[in-house]
Amino acid sequence: MYKAIHRPVLAAETLRLLAPDVRSDALFVDATTGEGGHTELFLSSCPRLTAIALDADARIQEKAKERLACFLPRVTFVRAWFDEFFANYPFERRPDIILFDLGISIFHYERSGGGFSFSKDEPLDMRLDSSNGKSAADLIGGLDERELADLIFRYGEERYSRSIAPALQKALRNGRLKTARAAAEVIAEAVPPAYRRGHLHPATKSFQALRMAVNDEPGRLVRALNGAFSVLNPGGVLGVISFHSLEDRAVKQFMKTKVGERHSVNKYRPSPQFVAAEGELLTPKPVSADAAEIKENPPSRSAKLRVIRKKKDEIE
Ligand SMILES: C[S@@+](CC[C@H](N)C(=O)[O-])C[C@H]1O[C@@H](n2cnc3c(N)ncnc32)[C@H](O)[C@@H]1O
């Protein structure tokens, strides 16, 4: 059997909030299956549950197929981007449970060969779907310096974006940007020495920004949350695990809107509105990992789980 490298985060809390009834014959959509950690937990904890296991990345999906083979035919695999999947939802039955565990998996850093890790001599690619779209190297070459700096600042919240962007572009022109490791070295040289000695690798934020842009993560997330909520069965639950503030802000904002929180239509002529609530928050505050989980599984440190239940009387 395939031995996974990624450990599912917030496993107990995710099951508690999303799969409370083990006798249920619910339909579960794992929108970000990865190596199948959460899907396996749901399938093994609820013997009558069926699952649709989705991922954009064919490399990691092969691993999930191997790992979850023992659950066939209770699991169906779909390779697709989650926003496109929910926009053209292809099944007749609507899901009762939907989970998003955002970002990428340890597998991507360690075993994918996709250039996600700044310590690997792999092409600077970062595409989840490597059959389509532009690689990170293409992106660096295709933007002007200011656009690249803005992108690194916006998606990575990287304060040295203005010196990193020209350094990356110069290295690309000189043929120095052949690998992810080379890109990380260029970034490290472009920032002040004190920053290089900080607790984060100096390329962490820039790599996050490039990966987010290459895979259009912010755009896909917002589209997918809306699409997922509309296909969700009334009474069903939608959970999202996010790992950084940009993602969590988008999730929080989306859920606020769905629970009918007051908002202003026009910032110059504030006209407060109440929209009808379509859902109910099951996590007024996001759920985080406890000290024991963080010790055992350090990537859980920044995980935040938010869950919303769709109202039974659906508003069309
Ligand atoms: C954090 S990992 C999921 C780990 C999984 N929950 C587990 O326990 O093994 C996120 C997964 O979502 C996939 N992914 C990221 N963005 C996606 C998108 N827009 N559409 C579909 N899959 C996506 C990635 O390829 C990755 O495998």
CATH number of residue 175's parent domain = 1.10.150.170
In a shared domain, residues 151 and 271: no
Position in ligand 1 atom list of the atom nearest CA 107: 27
pLDDT at 219: 96
In a shared domain, residues 180 and 195: yes
Beta strand residue intervals within 125-267, DSSP E: 237-242, 263-264
pLDDT at 263: 59
pLDDT at 153: 97
3-state secondary structure of 27: strand
In a shared domain, residues 99 and 227: yes
In a shared domain, residues 249 and 293: yes
Ligand 1 centre from 79 Cα, in Å? Answer: 11
In a shared domain, residues 205 and 221: no
Residue 282 domain flag: yes
pLDDT means per 10 residues, the chain with 316 residues, are 88 94 90 98 95 97 96 98 98 97 95 94 96 96 97 96 98 95 97 88 96 97 97 96 95 93 62 76 96 94 96 66
Domain's final residue, options 182, 214, 246: 214
pLDDT at 24: 86
In a shared domain, residues 167 and 288: no
Ligand 1 centre from 170 Cα, in Å? Answer: 33
Mutate which of 30, 33, 35, 62 to test ligand 1's pocket (most atoms within 8 Å of Cβ)? 33
List ligand 1's pocket residues with C-beta within 6 A.
6, 8, 32, 34-38, 54-57, 60, 81-82, 101, 103-105, 128, 220
CATH number for position 265 = 3.40.50.150
In a shared domain, residues 63 and 200: no
Ligand 1 centre from 175 Cα, in Å? Answer: 32
pLDDT at 276: 77
Residue 221 CB contacts under 8 Å (≥ 6 apart), including other chains: 83, 100, 102, 247, 250, 251
DSSP classification of residue 251: H
Residue 200 CB contacts under 8 Å (≥ 6 apart), including other chains: none
Which residue has the CA at smallest separation from atom 4 of ligand 1? 34
Closest CA to 41 of 81, 61, 71, 72: 71
Position in ligand 1 atom list of the atom nearest CA 80: 21
| Sole residue written with tokens 């949350």 | 225
pLDDT at 271: 60
Q: Which H helix or E strand runs over 205?
A: helix 204-214
In a shared domain, residues 207 and 240: no
Ligand 1 centre from 171 Cα, in Å? Answer: 31
Residue 169 domain flag: yes
pLDDT at 274: 64
Domain's final residue, options 214, 241, 276: 214
| Sole residue written with tokens 């619910």 | 26
In a shared domain, residues 191 and 239: no
**Number of domains present in the structure of the chain:** 2
Position in ligand 1 atom list of the atom nearest CA 34: 27
Instruction: Name the pTM for this structure.
Output: 0.94
pLDDT at 243: 95
Domain enclosing residue 138, as ranges? 130-214
In a shared domain, residues 199 and 221: no
CB 31 within 8 A of CB 85: yes
pLDDT at 312: 85
pLDDT at 144: 96
Domain's final residue, options 195, 214, 233: 214
Q: Report the C-alpha gap between 178 and 127 in whole angstroms.
A: 16
In a shared domain, residues 290 and 229: yes
Which residue has the CA at smallest separation from atom 15 of ligand 1? 103
Token pair, residue 316, equals 């069309």
Q: Report the C-alpha gap between 103 and 131 in whole angstroms.
A: 19
Count, residues in the chain: 316
In a shared domain, residues 16 and 101: yes
